[in-house]
Amino acid sequence: MEPVPDIRFKDKKLALIWEKVVSGKPLDIADGLACLQTRDLISLGKMASWVKEKKSGDYVYFVINAQLNPTNLCVLDCKFCDFAAKPGDKHAYNMTTEEALARLSNELHEVHIVGGLWPDWDLDHSLELMDQIRERFPSAQLKAFTAVEIDFFAKRAKLSIEAVLKKLMEHGLVALPGGGAEVFSKRVKKELFDKKIGEERWLEVHATAHRLGLKSNATLLYGHIETLEERVDHLLKLRAQQERSGGFLTFIPLAFQPGNTGITDRFTSAIDDLRTLATSRLVLDNFPHIKSYWVMLGENTASIGLNFGGDDLDGTIGEEKIAHLALAESPVGLTRSRLLAMIREAGRIPAERDACYNILNVYENGNIPRENRKPQLV
């Protein structure tokens, strides 16, 4: 058992929350809000780190992966998305299967596929892409298609969610990525992504996936027009779903990249990012992993996030498009050695994983300032 640190709280509300955390009691909406509003950032980080260390020791996971976005053509009009395009737009593209495959290589352990909703890329075309990837790159596992795409495939093919997921599993799908959840707020949905599936359908897809034995991730898009209450409410709904179906692996808070969306011209602050990461770790006590996603946070904040509850950096990615078409300032991909450096700078131990968090390699020979603690299996 991890020793319980003696935290000198400046924020008395956090001291009360800490008692709940240590005794394993779930946090409520008021607790989540207090965490998101606290000025006692260091105490919050210590609390989240304790929970992180109970689950994954000093390990921080990363994967050699590629994000593959076969097309950005999309029938939706989500206001927060600079990635999506209509035919004729300057940044519109639609890859052939060969063009998509040309972006992959033999050393990959995960291919993360996500694209726009476009009739060319229906279920059958997507299955063919998956077959080709598995044939040419057998060491890569497939984490593919958000709940929004699964819903699109099902409606076009006139199949149930279950039938679509079963077909995808037969063709090698091992996990669903967490995109498309945005914020489970009807108010925000109406303003920013009216045409997209909402909370009920998103959760239904993930619940069905879990029932069939698939793992999946979950996200929250924050830093646009949502309130702090709406952020915490989103976390509580995910925690309740995890109680029911149990298949979530990782939660990824996605910091909004304003780009040319016109929603706001402000990036989230590093303090807001760290508070959101730590609050997620504390509220989502039944999620094994929390991702400190370098693409949206930038390398510095993502590395610091590994002492605010994050235990995963995602991966090398190759050529990120969703955030970079929204003018993100991070690089479009990172090398393995840069990921190792970011983890070591945080005083953690890099653990290379596959898409399902099987550990492939642990890089013990870093400058680790503390006793190497191994993860307790969760």
* List 31, 58, 82, 354, residue binding ligand V47 (CB under 6 A): 82
| Binding to ligand V47 in span 21-50, by CB under 6 A | none
Q: What is the dihedral of CA 266, 269, 273, 279, to 10 degrees?
A: -110
**Closest residue to ligand V47 in the complex (CB):** 179
Q: Pick from 149, 137, 140, 141: which is nearest to 169 by CA? A: 141
Nearest-5° Cα angle at 289, 189 to 370: 140
Whole-number minimum distance, CB 333 to ligand V47, in Å?
A: 13
Whole-number minimum distance, CB 72 to ligand V47, in Å?
A: 11
Kindly state whether residue 293 participates in binding ligand V47, applying the rule CB under 6 A. yes
| Binding to ligand V47 in span 324-343, by CB under 6 A | 326
Kindly state whether residue 110 participates in binding ligand V47, applying the rule CB under 6 A. no
Which of 41-49, 122-130, 202-210, 321-329 is the region at the interface with ligand V47 (rule: CB under 6 A)? 321-329
The H or E element that residue 189 is part of is helix 186-192
What would you measure as the largest C-alpha separation in the chain, in angstroms?
A: 60
| Binding to ligand V47 in span 116-175, by CB under 6 A | none
| Binding to ligand V47 in span 189-228, by CB under 6 A | 217, 219, 221
Closer residue to ligand V47 (CB): 47 or 284: 284
Kindly state whether residue 178 participates in binding ligand V47, applying the rule CB under 6 A. yes
Whole-number minimum distance, CB 78 to ligand V47, in Å?
A: 7
Q: Judged by CB under 6 A, how many residues of this single chain contact ligand V47?
A: 25
DSSP 133-148: HHHH-TT-EEEE--HH
Closer residue to ligand V47 (CB): 179 or 310: 179
Kindly state whether residue 81 participates in binding ligand V47, applying the rule CB under 6 A. yes
DSSP state of 88: T
Kindly state whether residue 322 participates in binding ligand V47, applying the rule CB under 6 A. yes
Contacts of 330 (CB under 8 A, 6+ apart): 294, 295, 296, 297, 298, 299, 320, 323
How do strand 359-362 and strand 349-353 relate by DSSP bridges? antiparallel
Kindly state whether residue 323 participates in binding ligand V47, applying the rule CB under 6 A. yes
* SS3 call for 209: helix
Whole-number minimum distance, CB 359 to ligand V47, in Å?
A: 17
Q: What share of the chain is helix, strand, coil (3-state, %, to 5)?
A: 40, 15, 45
Are 142 and 176 a contacting pair, CB within 8 Å? Answer: no
Kindly state whether residue 182 participates in binding ligand V47, applying the rule CB under 6 A. yes
Whole-number minimum distance, CB 22 to ligand V47, in Å?
A: 29
Contacts of 138 (CB under 8 A, 6+ apart): none
Whole-number minimum distance, CB 17 to ligand V47, in Å?
A: 28
Q: How far is 72 from 21, CA to CA, in rounded Å?
A: 42
What tokens does 149 get?
Answer: 């795409």
Which of 69-77, 124-132, 237-245, 254-262 is the region at the interface with ligand V47 (rule: CB under 6 A)? 254-262
- The binding site for ligand V47 (CB under 6 A) comprises 80-83, 114, 177-180, 182, 217, 219, 221, 250, 252, 254, 256-257, 259, 293, 296, 314, 322-323, 326
